[in-house]
Amino acid sequence: MTKDNIYQDPQAPADFTFNSRVAEVFDDMLQRSVPCYHQVIDMVATLLARFVQPGDRIYDLGCSTGTTLLELSRRMTTSELEFVGIDNSPAMIDKATLKAEMFAKQDTIRFIHGDIAAVELEPCGACILNYTLQFIRPLARQSFLTRLHQALKPGGVLIISEKIICHDLEINRAFIDFYHDFKRSQGYTETEIARKRAALENILIPFSIRENSELLQKSGFSQVETFFQWFNFASFVAIKD
Ligand code: GEK
């Protein structure tokens, strides 16, 4: 796995983009930047095993290099599921496609280049949006989630993981400090942490748990629960009635 040292470079882009340089180091970047990344995938697999039906289509929206779908397809082999990953970064889709070929999963998983806020979604049993809604413009989020609600079959499941903010400023500050401690423990320097933070300003826009839950409810999901939280990261599950 290629090591992420993008923000050691003073010439790194001022605004974060999912270009080929990022795609190259992305698996290392996510593991070292998203607390409990693999545990969350594990919990997603557990939830899906419970809620999806044989033959269901499972979308991973903002699938990046395909890690989640590769893991799901490895674990959920019995019920003939159709796995579809969509991402608007060509470099990510190229990498995901290569990884699927490497693990002989090219017949089980389709990776599609497209804007998740615009592509036509076919009826599905599950939608996964891990660490991706935060990159969709806040004003576009509700209509986007409403489209996901429409695409899901009754009983279908939506899974969302996000970086989150807290309404209490002191708690918010503490959670961000704990997150930066985590990044230091993963080998990132102060400069890398500060540069990445500046590059994500106005690009990654986190909501609170309450705002995300309200957004999901306004988009048609009456059942919403948090199934995981690590300080300023949370995962939600919502079921379509
Ligand atoms: C994982 N879920 O491994 N349309 C399609 N893709 C988009 C859009 C959009 N409008 N906006 C952003 N992306 C993955 C990690 S990363 C999270 C998701 C992060 C894509 C973008 O290209 C990138 O691949 C992904 O969403 C976000 O669990 O980098 O913090």
Q: Given the DSSP bridges, would you call strands 223-230 and 152-163 parallel, antiparallel or unpaired?
A: unpaired
pLDDT at 12 over 90: no
**How much distance in Å is there from the Cα of 18 to the middle of ligand 1?**
8
- The residue range of the domain holding 64 is 6-239
Report CA torsion sign: 57, 33, 87, 105. Answer: negative
Name residue 57's beta-bridge partners: 82
**Per-residue pLDDT averaged across 15-39, rounded?**
93
Name residue 207's beta-bridge partners: 164
**Per-residue pLDDT averaged across 1-12, rounded?**
85
Helix, coil or strand: residue 84: strand
**Per-residue pLDDT averaged across 189-212, rounded?**
95
**How much distance in Å is there from the Cα of 131 to the middle of ligand 1?**
7
Residue 131 pLDDT grade (very low, low, confident, very high; cuts 50, 70, 90): very high
pLDDT at 4 over 90: no
1 lies in some domain: no
Residue 6 pLDDT grade (very low, low, confident, very high; cuts 50, 70, 90): confident
pTM above 0.85, yes or no: yes
161 lies in some domain: yes
**Per-residue pLDDT averaged across 102-125, rounded?**
96
Residue-level pLDDT at 216: 98
**Overall domain count for the chain:** 1
pLDDT at 167 over 90: yes
Helix, coil or strand: residue 156: strand
Q: How long a stretch of residues is the chain?
A: 241
Helix, coil or strand: residue 71: helix
DSSP code, position 6: G
With beta carbons less than 8 A apart as the criterion, state whether 69 and 83 touch: yes
Q: Ligand 1, residue 130: give the atom nearest the CA.
A: 2
Pocket around ligand 1: residues whose beta carbon is below 6 Å from it?
18, 30, 62-64, 67-68, 86-89, 92, 115-117, 130-132, 135-136
Amino acid identity, position 207? F
CA-nearest residue for atom 27, ligand 1, is 132
pLDDT at 11 over 90: no
With beta carbons less than 8 A apart as the criterion, state whether 207 and 22 touch: no
| Domain at 70, CATH number | 3.40.50.150
Q: Ligand 1, residue 163: give the atom nearest the CA.
A: 30
pLDDT at 149 over 90: yes
